[in-house]
């Protein structure tokens, strides 16, 4: 394993790729966890798939393993849908419909804030459904197209919805349906409930690979501008809103321990992806479908813990100018 001392990283690009390869072979043998099966189509995934990608804000790509393997984005989509809803409705209005408090509950808990009746935050399912229902468009097709175009800006190429996963979740997603009805009852969703759910299920079934996720993460790290295409994916004024809820809520009922140990905003999904954002430096993505009891990728958590420790990425550990990774910036692969 390539060694690096915290805060004193002497890494060159070729060594960094070697470091990622070492991490990949170290954790490839980990077989703990289980693939998600509550959406029947997700249970068909090969549990051995495993990839790690890093994209820096100056556009360098580092990729190891099955980084071109496509999978559905699932809950990781919630981050980007939140950005689009903020752009469409503004911060003040969104806050009247979706809170920013971590719950300590599972991602699919059927629970709203006692006082306000808002879902707790946009990273749990209830909050994500409410957020998605606020995306503008003159009908279901326009809303879906605006959502897909938003993903295109972050990734740098067109994306598509996996129809099998979408219909699999649509026909089994009764917990989400229950939450949507509860929120409709309290006036937190005001459009057609089934249409809001369909758009939510469709956004979760958008296909990405590990490299795409790392580019999306790097776009958030780069103040909303895709570092490969130079296209603005989201208004930079909302980056702090997005990263704040990722930091406090992105890993569900593991969010506190993640913030303590890894210390960078991140989001996981039940397909096995985790992406993490190191502001002004890089995006990290890991894909491995074996999940722990909270729905986070087992290898993904381990890889991010080790990357954070070795590169001294914890937000409260880096030097004030966040320069701990700057020695690979500006160099070629
Ligand atoms: O709503 C659901 O249950 C899925 N479409 C997404 C859940 C998810 O990815 C939770 N993540 N860990």
Distance CA 105, CA 98 (A): 16
- Taking the CA atoms of the chain, what radius of gyration do you get in angstroms? 19
* Ligand 1 binding pocket includes 72 (Cβ within 6 Å): no
Which of 252, 286, 298, 301 is catalytic? The answer is 252
Helical spans, DSSP H, in the chain: 13-28, 77-89, 91-97, 125-133, 140-155, 163-172, 174-185, 193-204, 210-221, 239-249, 255-261, 298-311
Confidence of residue 105 (pLDDT cuts 50, 70, 90): confident
Nearest-CA residue for ligand 1 atom 8 is 75
Candidates 55, 59, 53; CA nearest to 227 is 59
Candidates 74, 65, 201; CA nearest to 133 is 201
Amino acid 132: pLDDT: 97
Nearest-CA residue for ligand 1 atom 1 is 125
Which of 62, 82, 200, 238 is catalytic? The answer is 200
State both tokens at 157. 């190429």
pLDDT average, residue stretch 38-42: 94
Which of 35, 57, 75, 159 is catalytic? The answer is 75
pLDDT average, residue stretch 89-96: 98
Q: How far is CA 181 from the centre of its chain?
A: 26
* Ligand 1 binding pocket includes 253 (Cβ within 6 Å): no
Amino acid 252: pLDDT: 82
For the chain, what percent of residues have pLDDT higher than 90?
A: 86
In the annotation, is 82 catalytic? no
In the annotation, is 78 catalytic? yes
Q: By mean pLDDT, which of 2-11, 19-28, 228-237, 314-323 is the weakest? A: 2-11
pLDDT average, residue stretch 147-164: 98
Is residue 1 pLDDT above 80, yes or no?
no
pLDDT average, residue stretch 214-241: 98
pLDDT average, residue stretch 78-99: 98
In the annotation, is 270 catalytic? yes
Confidence of residue 333 (pLDDT cuts 50, 70, 90): very low
* Ligand 1 binding pocket includes 269 (Cβ within 6 Å): yes
pLDDT in tens, 172-198: 999 999 999 999 999 999 878 999 999
Q: By mean pLDDT, which of 10-14, 156-160, 191-195, 244-248 is the weakest? A: 10-14
Is residue 158 pLDDT above 70, yes or no?
yes
* Ligand 1 binding pocket includes 162 (Cβ within 6 Å): no
Closest atom of ligand 1 relative to the 201 alpha carbon: 5
Q: By mean pLDDT, which of 125-139, 181-195, 228-242 is the weakest? A: 181-195
**Angle between helices 239-249 and 77-89 in degrees, nearest 10:** 140
Residue given tokens 């913030």 in the structure block: 259
Model confidence, pTM:
0.93
Amino acid 240: pLDDT: 98
Distance from residue 125's CA to the centre of ligand 1 (Å): 7
Distant-in-sequence, close-in-space partners of 196: CB < 8 Å, separation ≥ 6: 129, 132, 133, 180, 189
Q: By mean pLDDT, which of 36-40, 195-199, 311-315, 318-322 is the weakest? A: 318-322
In the annotation, is 252 catalytic? yes
Residue 307: half-sphere exposure toward Cβ, Cα within 13 Å: 31
Amino acid 224: pLDDT: 98
pLDDT average, residue stretch 159-170: 97
Amino acid 326: pLDDT: 52
- Candidate from 74, 169, 178, 206 with most ligand 1 atoms within 8 A of CB, to mutate: 74
Is residue 11 pLDDT above 80, yes or no?
no
pLDDT average, residue stretch 95-119: 92
Query: If you average pLDDT over every residue of the chain, what do you get?
Result: 92
State both tokens at 181. 């009805």
Distance from residue 269's CA to the centre of ligand 1 (Å): 6
State both tokens at 200. 């939510």
Which of 45, 62, 64, 78 is catalytic? The answer is 78
Nearest-CA residue for ligand 1 atom 11 is 269
């Amino acid at each position: 394993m390539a060694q690096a001392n915290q805060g004193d990283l002497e890494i060159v690009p070729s060594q960094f790729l070697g470091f990622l390869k070492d991490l990949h072979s170290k954790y490839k043998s980990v077989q703990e966890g289980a693939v998600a099966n509550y959406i029947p189509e997700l249970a068909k995934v090969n549990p051995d798939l495993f990839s790690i990608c890093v994209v820096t804000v100056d556009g360098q790509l580092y990729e190891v393993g099955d980084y071109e393997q496509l999978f559905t984005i699932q809950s990781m989509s919630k981050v980007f849908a939140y950005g689009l809803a903020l752009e469409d409705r503004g911060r003040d209005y969104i806050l009247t419909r979706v809170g920013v408090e971590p719950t300590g509950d599972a991602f699919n808990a059927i629970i709203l804030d006692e006082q306000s009746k808002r879902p707790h935050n946009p990273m749990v399912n209830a909050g994500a459904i409410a957020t998605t229902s606020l995306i503008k468009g003159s009908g279901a097709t326009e809303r879906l197209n605006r959502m897909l175009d938003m993903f295109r800006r972050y990734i740098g190429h067109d994306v598509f919805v996996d129809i099998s996963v979408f219909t699999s979740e649509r026909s089994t997603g009764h917990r989400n349906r229950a939450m949507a009805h509860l929120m409709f009852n309290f006036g937190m969703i005001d459009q057609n409930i089934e249409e809001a759910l369909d758009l939510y299920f469709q956004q979760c079934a958008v296909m990405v690979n590990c490299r795409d996720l790392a580019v999306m993460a790097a776009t958030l790290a780069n103040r909303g501008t895709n570092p490969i295409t130079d296209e603005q994916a989201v208004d930079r004024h909302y980056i702090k809103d997005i990263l704040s809820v990722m930091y406090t809520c992105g890993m569900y009922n593991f969010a506190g321990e993640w913030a303590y140990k890894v210390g960078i905003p991140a989001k996981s999904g039940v397909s096995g992806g985790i992406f993490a954002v190191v502001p002004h430096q890089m995006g990290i993505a890991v894909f491995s479908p074996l999940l722990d009891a909270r729905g986070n990728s087992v290898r993904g958590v381990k890889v991010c813990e080790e990357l954070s420790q070795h590169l001294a990425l914890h937000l409260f550990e880096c030097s004030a100018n966040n320069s701990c990774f700057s020695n690979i910036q500006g160099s070629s692969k």
